[in-house]
Amino acid sequence: ELKVEQNPLFLSMQEGKNYTIYCNYSTTSDRLYWYRQDPGKSLESLFVLLSNGAVKQEGRLMASLDTKARLSTLHITAAVHDLSATYFCAVGPLDSNYQLIWGAGTKLIIKP
Amino acid sequence: GAGVSQSPSNKVTEKGKDVELRCDPISGHTALYWYRQSLGQGLEFLIYFQGNSAPDKSGLPSDRFSAERTGGSVSTLTIQRTQQEDSAVYLCASSWTSGSFEQYFGPGTRLTVT
């Protein structure tokens, strides 16, 4: 059974700093997603990672995937307050082409 | 174009009552998903529809929960005899099809059972 673990679950940081959120999963997968959720809002897709070594960047966010290590990282560069949100990773099990197993989310607070 | 819409946005109901939650997916999306998100938690899969295929209901937590999708578009999630533990945000998502396509989420329905 596929399990997804994110860490940290809570992160408070200062503007201008760099940090990384980790998403570990327990069994082989062929797709991984990162989503953002603002308080009281729905989920917004950030990145879709489909192959080993995939790296995608959007502004101050960069996501990567290491399928051998079963690890994805979401790196934040020079954080700004607008990036405060909860970030979720979701992993697709090989035995289903539609189910996603979700991490618990990382609540990120960026202080000015 | 229009995104996924859900109604109502908030629903407060008394324990034991039935509720219906509605989802309008993005036009042309054949796959539709329902999830439940409890406070501070990740998403719990409930049910999946793909075109005219039989839905995957494996995530429904009890037989009080049911869902249908009419004409391959609008979906309704029904909870009968609501319990306090049903209180959560119910999210609907749609995608072009299954596989690697990302899911687009609606704003959710916050259900509170008193």
Q: Measured in whole angstroms, how far is the alpha carbon of residue A81 from the centre of its chain? A: 18
Record: contact B102-A105, CB cut-off 8 A:
no
Tell me how far apart the alpha carbons of residues A45 and B38 are, in angstroms, rounded to a whole number.
20
- pLDDT digit string, tens, across residues B35-52: 999 987 889 999 999 988
A39/chain B closest Cα distance in angstroms: 10
Smallest Cα–Cα separation from B31: which of B76, B96, B90?
Answer: B96
Tell me how far apart the alpha carbons of residues A20 and A95 are, in angstroms, rounded to a whole number.
29
Interface contact A50, partner B, CB < 8 A: yes
Among A31, A88, A98, whose Cβ lies nearest the Cβ of B42? A88
Q: Map tokens 């998100």 to a residue.
A: B37
- pLDDT digit string, tens, across residues B57-109: 999 999 999 999 988 799 999 999 999 999 999 999 999 987 778 899 999 99
Among A30, A42, A48, whose Cβ lies nearest the Cβ of B108? A42
Q: How many CB atoms lie within 10 A of CB A22?
A: 15
Record: contact A98-B41, CB cut-off 8 A:
no
Q: Measured in whole angstroms, how far is the alpha carbon of residue A24 from the centre of its chain? A: 10
Tell me how far apart the alpha carbons of residues B34 and B20 are, in angstroms, rounded to a whole number.
13
Compute the average pLDDT of residues A68-77.
97
Length of chain B: 114
Report residue A2 as tokens: 């596929």
